[in-house]
Amino acid sequence: MILEKTLYIKRLKEYLDLIIKRNAEKHNLIGWVLAKDIQRRKLLEIGDKYSPAMTQAILLESVCEQLPIFIEPGQIFAGTEEDAFSASYALINPAFRIESFQGYNDEMAFYNDVKPGDKIADIKVTEQIIEDNRKFWGKHPSVAKIREIYKETGNQTKEAVYFVERVAGQNNKKRNFLPRAIILIV
């Protein structure tokens, strides 16, 4: 079977060192920034004329159509969580050090990890893309809410075991519920 040949353990082990080395060298969120840029441009195009559910569907479709998918040597799946190795997305980053953890109190900090000239496939990240997205998403209500929570909790949230993070894919109709839920969790 083709699947058995693809998932052959001995063959996969040969790529393990390559994959570990490549992942340890990743310190940015290029894919995330490009996905957010695609969403930003689509939101500017469509405005608020659709329901929240339809808007999310349109944004997802836009990202799926435009974000490049590629498979690097050693990978057996297209699409991974490699962006999670960003320096600002600390906990699963191989370079993470508990001594330097400052919490996730700056929702926009990951934009500092992306450098102009970084690229994914043939798409290059520019200073303009970084700044346009930082300004646009910095005004998002969830960013404002997380900043407010961190301001209220102060030094308590500088510990690695105690932090607040936005949940991706939240339903906009639960907007009134989520702030209370976040505060209850905190």
Average pLDDT over residues 101-123: 72
Confidence of residue 41 (pLDDT cuts 50, 70, 90): very high
Q: Are 73 and 15 in contact (CB under 8 A)?
A: yes
pLDDT in tens, 82-110: 565 555 555 555 556 666 655 555 667 77
Token pair 């997205």 is found at 133
pLDDT at 177: 47
- Which tokens is 145 given? 């809410």
Q: Write down the pTM of the prediction.
A: 0.67
Helix (H, G, I), strand (E, B) or coil at 120: strand
Q: Are 47 and 41 in contact (CB under 8 A)?
A: no
The lowest-confidence range among 6-10, 55-59, 125-129 is: 6-10
Type of residue at 110? F
pLDDT at 110: 74
Cα separation, 172 vs 52, in Å, equals 6
Residue in 179, 183, 159, 169 with CA at minimum distance from that of residue 90 = 159
Type of residue at 97? R
Confidence of residue 39 (pLDDT cuts 50, 70, 90): very high
User: How confident is the prediction for the chain on average, in pLDDT?
Assistant: 73
pLDDT at 38: 95
Percentage of the chain modeled with pLDDT above 70: 59
Cα separation, 171 vs 178, in Å, equals 9
Per-domain boundaries in the chain:
2-185
